[in-house]
């Protein structure tokens, strides 16, 4: 893996130093930047354009999740790793929703952080998290699909265009798109194909029909 420039965002200097030392032994040649706050990290991202940002959720002047959301818009190619002791599924889901590339527990072995760095370097718009399965289960239990959302989800594999689905269900295209966004959010996916694949994995949909097509 090419050694990336890495920004460490954490208000505890001892944490930043420990992570930097642990990573430096594995990522020879990496450039490490440090920021103890949202404001300083904001400035460094604008000026230094790091390849990776490793961000704690709790910062003294704002939320690391807010920083991640802004950074995703500012630099779509940057890998954004939320690195926190806060392991409640809501934090993982929020990190995903706000555009982070990964979520890693601070208590995890350094190998997991290294794996996350490797993954997000090649795919900053994906999402890496060892506990994503638990988070998905939590979201499904908390916000199950409605009858209308299930109806739409079961039509998606037919390959019908959105205007065709809208006409079939007697709803407007804008209403359909609102339902689709709710489906994507609940399944933690980003598009139609991912929604179909995830629904099949969860057995909400039957396995792929070779005569169907995805768009």
The domain limits of the chain are 5-136, 143-201
User: In CATH, what number does 143-201 get?
Assistant: 1.10.10.10
Select from 59, 2, 56 the least CA-distant residue to 28: 2
Exposed (0-12), middle (13-18) or buried (19+): which is 179, by Cβ within 10 Å? Answer: buried
Strands 52-55 and 79-84 turn out to be parallel
203, with CB counted inside 10 A (0-12, 13-18, 19+), is exposed
CATH of domain 5-136: 3.40.50.2300
**Cβ of 112: how many Cβ atoms within 10 Å?**
16
Average pLDDT, the chain: 87
- The DSSP 8-state label assigned to residue 60 in this structure reads S
pLDDT band at 211 (very low <50, low <70, confident <90, very high): very low
Q: Is 120 a residue whose pLDDT tops 90?
A: yes
In Å, how far from its chain's centre is CA 25?
27
What pTM does this model have? 0.66
Query: 122 falls in which pLDDT band (50, 70, 90)?
Result: very high
Least confident range of 35-44, 64-73, 145-154:
145-154
Instruction: Give residue 3's pLDDT.
Output: 61
Residue 45 CB partners (closer than 8 Å, separation 6+): 7, 53, 71, 74, 75, 78
* Confidence class for position 213, pLDDT limits 50, 70, 90: very low
> What is the reported pLDDT for 146?
86
Contact 98, 69 (CB under 8 A): yes
Helices (H), the chain: 13-24, 38-48, 64-74, 89-97, 110-122, 132-142, 147-155, 162-169, 173-187, 192-201
Q: Residue 2's pLDDT band (boundaries 50, 70, 90)?
A: low
């Amino acid at each position: 893996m090419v050694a990336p420039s890495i920004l460490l965002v954490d208000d505890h200097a001892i944490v930043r130093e420990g992570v930097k030392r642990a990573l430096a032994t594995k990522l020879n040649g990496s450039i490490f930047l440090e920021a103890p706050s949202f404001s300083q990290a904001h400035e460094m991202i604008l000026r230094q354009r790091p390849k990776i940002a490793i961000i704690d959720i709790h910062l003294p002047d704002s939320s690391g999740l807010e920083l991640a959301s802004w950074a995703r818009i500012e630099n779509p190619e940057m890998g954004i790793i939320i690195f926190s002791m806060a392991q409640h599924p809501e934090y993982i889901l929020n990190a995903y929703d706000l555009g982070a590339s990964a979520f890693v527990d601070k208590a995890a072995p350094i190998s997991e952080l290294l794996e996350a760095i490797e993954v997000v370097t090649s795919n900053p718009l994906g999402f890496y998290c060892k506990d994503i399965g638990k988070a998905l289960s939590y979201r499904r239990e908390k916000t199950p699909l409605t009858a209308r959302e299930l109806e739409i989800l079961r039509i998606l594999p037919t390959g019908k265009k959105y205007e065709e689905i809208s006409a079939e269900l007697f709803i407007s295209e804008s209403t359909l798109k609102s339902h689709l966004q709710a489906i994507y959010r609940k399944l933690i996916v980003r598009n139609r194909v991912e929604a179909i694949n995830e629904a099949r994995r969860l057995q909400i949909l039957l396995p792929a029909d070779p005569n169907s097509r995805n768009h």
